[in-house]
Structure formats: C-alpha cells, structure tokens
C-alpha cells in the first residue's frame, strides 16, 4: 500500500500510527487495534537465507522481496533444475506466522497451481519445511514490465500485445473463481519472446470466500471500492489492469494520490480523476482511450461485464500488421483485383455493346425503330436491361470491403489494409478506399449503363476518363512514401498480414 512520502500514516478511525519503509508496496492493513499504538510494516530486505535448504530445494541467491515474503533463485535437487522459491516472511522480518494466514497463503498457492495458463507463472511445489511455508515456481528471465516502462512508454503494439495476454490469464482465473488482488506492472514478468506471465498471487483469494479484515493491495493500483472496504472481485482486477495499461502506455500513473494520513489518501483515491494527456499521442490510437476509460471507471458496474467483452475490444485494437508490404506485392495484388473485377463486369458490359451494334446496323440500313421486328426489339431491350445492372459489380466490391472481406489479390499475397497504427481500417474508410481504388470500374459501369439507355455520346466522354483516374490514383506510388492516392487521402497503408502470429 502506498503511504505518504515520509513512509508514515495514521488510521483515522483508531489513531494507530503506521510506518512503512518503502513506497508502492503490497500490504494488508487492518484498522482499529490499540489506539495510539505504532506498527511498523517493514519492507527491508530482512535476513538473506541463501545457502539454506528447504526440503529438496537449495536457496542460491536472493532475487527480491515484498510484503509477503522473499524470492530466491534455487536449485531443485530432485530434478536438477533452477526454480524460484518464495519463502513467507518470518515474524522477525515483519511477517505473520498465524495458522490462519499460513493456511490461507498455502491455499492461494494451490489455487494458482490450478491456474494452468501460458501467461501465469507455473507453481511446481507447495509445502512446508519445519512448519515454514514456501512454494517453488517457474524461474523467468524477466525483467518485469515495471522495469521496462522506467525509460518511458512502451510501443503501443507491445502494450496491446501484453494486454491480450494478461486479459486471457485473468479470464481463466475468473473462470476458476480466483481473484488476483494485486495486478500491477511489477507482478508481470517477461518469459522471453514478448511473452508476459502474471505472478505473485500472494493476495489472491477465491471469489465469494470469507471477507477479509482491512484492505489489501497496492493503493496506486487499487479499485476505489476496495478503499471503501469492498471485497476483491474480477472487476477490481479489471481496474488494476487499467492502471497498469495506462502506466505502460503513457509512462506514468493515471492520477496522483495525496494525503498526510492513510485515510486521507484513501478518501482522495476515491475522488481523483484520470489524467489523460491533453494532447493525444500520434503513436496511440484514439480508440484506446475508450478501453482505458471503461477499465478505470469508478463504479464497477461501468466496467466491462466480463473478460470476454474486454478481449473483444482488445482484439479489435490489436495491430494486424506493422511491416509495410513491398511495392511489387501491392502492385500485383492490385492487378489481380482489377482483372477479377473486369471478368465480373464482362457479362454485364457485353450486352450493352451487342445492343448498340444491333441498333447501329439497323439505323445504317435506314430502318426506323418502329419498323424493327418485334423479337429484335425485345432482344435489344433485354440486353440493355442487363447492362443497366453494371454498377452492381463495383458496388458489391465496396460492400465486401465494408464487411471486412479481403479481395482476391490481398488474399493471394497475404496483405492487409490498416491505418497508421496497424489497426483494421474503419468501415467508412474501407468503403471510400474501395470506391477510389476501383474508380475506373465505377466510371466504366456508368458508361455501360448510359450506352444501354441509348446515350451513345456518353461513351465518348467517359472513355478516356477511367484511364485518367487510374493514372492519377497510381502515379503517387512513385513518390517518397510509395503510397497510392487512396492511401494518402485516407491515412491507410498495406502491410504483410501478421495477425495469425499475434493470436
């Protein structure tokens, strides 16, 4: 729990003096014991137990410590592998050895062991050595996301990549009825290849279990309802996740908590507003703010209903590709799409041509339209009727883009159209892009319709227009940005499809 800068606080209910030797630490504080007494919640490193043996685990070196215990790099001598062993804090180091707390901590370690998920630190062993509780877990190379974010915000594609992994782990925990209770960047550890794992279930509990006394967690990441004495839940974990993602995105916390006493800080925490950047960074999609606002809602009812709903939004905001496609691939894909549309247009454009030829030959022979044979007039009218449907083809292409269907060219060359952040282009922009990209076919379909209706001069005016539009749209690819006009206008780009590798 975060106390004032001097590391001291006072319970406003009982006057109990509380001191803490470190900030942003995870602690459980119970209020209202002896009035005026002082309790020190030490976060000092405590004794170094390197070299000791706990069962078949030999402690080698200390990796870190927290409010619940210390973590050591250890050798599992039975399997000859290195693991991380967490030893619960002894009373001399500020811990508690009550049977209730020891049992609770071991039960929670067992609960974490049940959580078989690729983004959760794996628990190998839970036990005691001379009645001293400890557990062995997966040893990860690290670092934590807190360490990564010390130098500033992480790239957006990394943030959303980690967010999807953490959300998946919390969804599995929620399915088992397990609440983590202390989601923060220092509890998220890299396992290599941008895989993050959620660890430190020291404050985890089963949902709907017996209420806890006092409050537990890290104040800077704690949901407002917990500061009021509420019980941890999946939605309080969501709030902590929101704080964590905000921190990774902008390199700072979403708010600042003030107060000279612990109670003042808790009261301030409930009313503090999220401080989004005044000028939104160009490197972060504007839609990301909506997700953060929902996660950081003061009322649990205003947050996501469940992790499935959260993951839908995260997936929609995940970049589908960040590597720009080469000009050759894009050109070949465009050529395939143009040929495909031309083939589809052919059955509708030929009837207009035939009808025009019939009319021209009969007119050249001097026959008036009223003197045409009946069957010939009917045949010519039906050909013209078919040709009137020519605009359906480019319209169908625009509809397919609106639905998110990839064109044949992009499918064959594994390309995706994205915005500046690598996200799927918005529907409105996808339709506009299709209209501009296939403008020659829109012009051609209008010319075919005009010809079918007898406006022969329209063909004369439209004939050169489609080639001019095609040149205007494609010539900008020769510029320094290598983008066609439709991509320059809509802020889109074509990238290699890497979506499958990000699932």
User: Using alpha carbons only, what angle is made at residue 221 by residues 215 and 225, rounded to the nearest 5 degrees?
Assistant: 50
Say if 223 falls within a structural domain: yes
What distance in Å separates the CA atoms of residue 253 and residue 146, rounded to the nearest whole number? 12
Is the domain of 165 the same as that of 285?
yes
Which range of residues forms the domain containing residue 263? 146-318
SS (H, E, C) 452-481: HCCCHHHHHHHCCHHHHHHHHHHHHHHCCC
Q: What does the pLDDT read at residue 354?
A: 56
Is the domain of 340 the same as that of 477?
yes
Rg (CA), the chain: 33
Q: What does the pLDDT read at residue 13?
A: 42
Is the domain of 479 the same as that of 337?
yes
Per the CB < 8 A criterion, the answer to whether 201 and 180 are in contact is: yes
Is the domain of 399 the same as that of 438?
yes
Kind and range of the H or E run holding 393: helix 392-402
Residues pairing with 72 in the sheet: 62, 85
Tens digit of each residue's pLDDT (9 = 90 or more) over 89-128: 655 454 555 566 666 667 667 777 778 889 998 888 888 8
Q: Residue written as tokens 């690819």? A: 477
Say if 290 falls within a structural domain: yes
Is the domain of 331 the same as that of 301?
no
What distance in Å separates the CA atoms of residue 486 and residue 474, rounded to the nearest whole number? 9
For CA atoms 296, 299, 301, 306, the dihedral sign is positive
Is the domain of 251 the same as that of 344?
no
**Residues 6 or more apart from 403 whose CB is under 8 A from it?**
none
**Residue 257's domain is classified under what CATH number?**
1.10.510.10
Say if 414 falls within a structural domain: yes
Q: Residue written as tokens 């026959």? A: 367
What distance in Å separates the CA atoms of residue 434 and residue 405, rounded to the nearest whole number? 12
Is the domain of 274 the same as that of 403?
no
What distance in Å separates the CA atoms of residue 238 and residue 304, rounded to the nearest whole number? 8
| DSSP at 231 | P
Parallel, antiparallel or unpaired: strands 38-41 and 17-20: parallel
Is the domain of 188 the same as that of 310?
yes
Is-catalytic flag, 151?
no
Say if 469 falls within a structural domain: yes
Q: What does the pLDDT read at residue 230?
A: 80
What distance in Å separates the CA atoms of residue 269 and residue 265, rounded to the nearest whole number? 6
Say if 43 falls within a structural domain: no
Per the CB < 8 A criterion, the answer to whether 62 and 52 are in contact is: no
SS (H, E, C) 25-62: CCEEECCCCCCCCEEEECCCCCCCCCCCEECCEEEEEE
Expressed in angstroms, the distance from the first to the final Cα of the chain is 35
Please identify every stretch of the chain with a pLDDT value under 70, giving residue numbers as ranges.
1-46, 66-68, 89-105, 107-108, 202-217, 260-262, 349-388, 451-460, 499-503
**Mean pLDDT across the chain:** 78
Is the domain of 434 the same as that of 336?
yes
Q: What does the pLDDT read at residue 31?
A: 39
Of the three residues 318, 341, 358, the one that is the final residue of a domain is 318
Say if 18 falls within a structural domain: no
Q: What does the pLDDT read at residue 35?
A: 30
Of the three residues 253, 283, 318, the one that is the final residue of a domain is 318
Say if 337 falls within a structural domain: yes
Tokens matching residue 483: 């983008």
Say if 189 falls within a structural domain: yes
Q: What does the pLDDT read at residue 116?
A: 82
Residue 82 has a CB neighbour count (10 Å cut-off) of 12
For CA atoms 192, 193, 194, 199, the dihedral sign is negative
Q: What does the pLDDT read at residue 229?
A: 77
Is the domain of 382 the same as that of 247?
no
Catalytic residue among 76, 182, 337, 466: 182
| DSSP at 325 | P
Q: What does the pLDDT read at residue 19?
A: 40
What distance in Å separates the CA atoms of residue 149 and residue 485, rounded to the nearest whole number? 38
Is the domain of 298 the same as that of 346?
no
Q: What does the pLDDT read at residue 108?
A: 63
Number of domain units in the chain: 2
Of the three residues 283, 318, 353, the one that is the final residue of a domain is 318
Is the domain of 311 the same as that of 352?
no
């Amino acid at each position: 729990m975060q106390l004032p800068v001097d590391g001291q606080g006072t319970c406003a209910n009982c006057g109990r003096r509380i001191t803490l030797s470190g900030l942003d630490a995870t602690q459980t504080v119970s209020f209202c014991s002896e009035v005026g007494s002082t309790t020190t919640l030490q976060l000092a490193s405590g004794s170094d137990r390197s070299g000791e043996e706990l069962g078949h685990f030999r402690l080698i070196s200390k990796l870190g410590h927290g409010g619940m215990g210390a973590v050591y790099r250890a050798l599992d001598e039975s399997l000859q592998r290195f693991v991380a062993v967490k030893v619960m804090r002894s009373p001399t180091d500020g811990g508690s050895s009550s049977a209730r707390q020891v049992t609770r901590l071991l039960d929670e370690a067992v609960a974490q062991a049940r959580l078989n998920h690729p983004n959760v630190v794996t628990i190998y062993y839970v036990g005691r050595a001379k009645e001293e509780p400890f557990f062995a877990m997966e040893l990860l190379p690290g670092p934590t996301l807190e360490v990564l974010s010390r130098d500033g915000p992480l790239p957006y594609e990394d943030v959303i990549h980690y967010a999807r992994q953490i959300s998946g782990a919390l969804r599995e925990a929620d399915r088992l009825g397990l609440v983590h209770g202390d989601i923060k960047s220092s509890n998220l550890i890299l396992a290599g290849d941008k895989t993050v794992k959620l660890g430190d279930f020291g404050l985890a509990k089963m949902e709907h279990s017996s209420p806890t006394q006092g409050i537990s967690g890290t104040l800077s990441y704690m949901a407002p309802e917990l500061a009021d004495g509420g019980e941890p839940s999946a939605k309080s974990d969501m709030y902590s996740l929101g704080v964590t993602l905000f921190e990774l995105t902008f390199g700072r916390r979403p708010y600042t908590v003030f107060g000279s006493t612990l109670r003042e800080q808790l009261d301030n925490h409930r009313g503090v507003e999220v401080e989004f950047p005044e000028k939104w960074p160009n490197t972060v999609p504007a839609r990301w703010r909506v997700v953060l606002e929902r996660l950081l809602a003061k009322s649990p009812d205003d947050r996501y209903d469940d992790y499935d709903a959260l993951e839908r939004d995260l997936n929609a905001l995940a970049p589908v590709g960040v590597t720009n496609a080469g000009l050759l691939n894009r050109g070949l894909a465009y050529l395939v799409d143009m040929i495909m549309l031309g083939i589809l247009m052919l059955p509708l454009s030929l009837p207009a041509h035939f009808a025009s030829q019939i009319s021209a030959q009969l007119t050249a022979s001097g026959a008036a339209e009223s003197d045409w044979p009946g069957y010939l007039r009917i045949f010519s009218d039906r050909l013209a009727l078919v040709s009137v449907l020519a605009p359906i083809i480019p319209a169908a292409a625009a509809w397919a883009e609106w639905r998110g269907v990839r064109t044949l060219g992009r499918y064959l060359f594994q390309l995706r159209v994205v915005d500046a952040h690598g996200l799927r282009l918005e529907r409105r922009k996808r339709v506009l892009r299709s209209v501009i990209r296939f403008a020659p076919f829109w012009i051609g379909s209008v010319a075919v319709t005009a010809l079918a209706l007898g406006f022969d001069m329209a063909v004369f005016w439209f004939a050169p227009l489609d080639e001019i539009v095609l040149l205007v749209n494609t010539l900008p690819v020769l510029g320094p940005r290598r983008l066609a006009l439709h991509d320059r206008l809509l802020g889109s780009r074509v990238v290699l499809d890497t979506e499958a590798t990000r699932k």
